[in-house]
Structure 1
């Protein structure tokens, strides 16, 4: 797999992370404060201008009260459905 910000699997992850954030009722500003980053970082991550660091990913999931593994399972389910 290519290590590109624009790879389809990476885009699926960004879409899912945004969805998880929104379902948790968090704004980008609130997520940024929780993660200790600027709001623009969260925005750029969701738009595909930043890679998702694995530790930031875990903290993102924790902020949304969801287990990181559950998000990965959802990502895999989506990927399989889209590819078949």
Structure 2
């Protein structure tokens, strides 16, 4: 597993807490692993819940029709970069 930045740890904690994932710890998440399908196994409902949690915590809105969502949510690392670039 790659080392996580402090921002990646923060987003990973938010992901685990907002989705009520009980069987995974922050250190179990590879920041480059896919969040959906074969990676962490998240689904579209999880994406909506996570987007809402990110919006509340970081003060920006992710739109469901954003064509970049596939890239933004591709991994913890990509999601954290988006958060860092857009937080208010």
Bin for the TM-score computed over the shorter chain: 0.3 to 0.5
Question: Normalized against structure 2, the TM-score is what?
Answer: 0.40
Question: Normalized against structure 1, the TM-score is what?
Answer: 0.41
> Which structure is higher in helix share?
1
Higher-Rg structure is 1
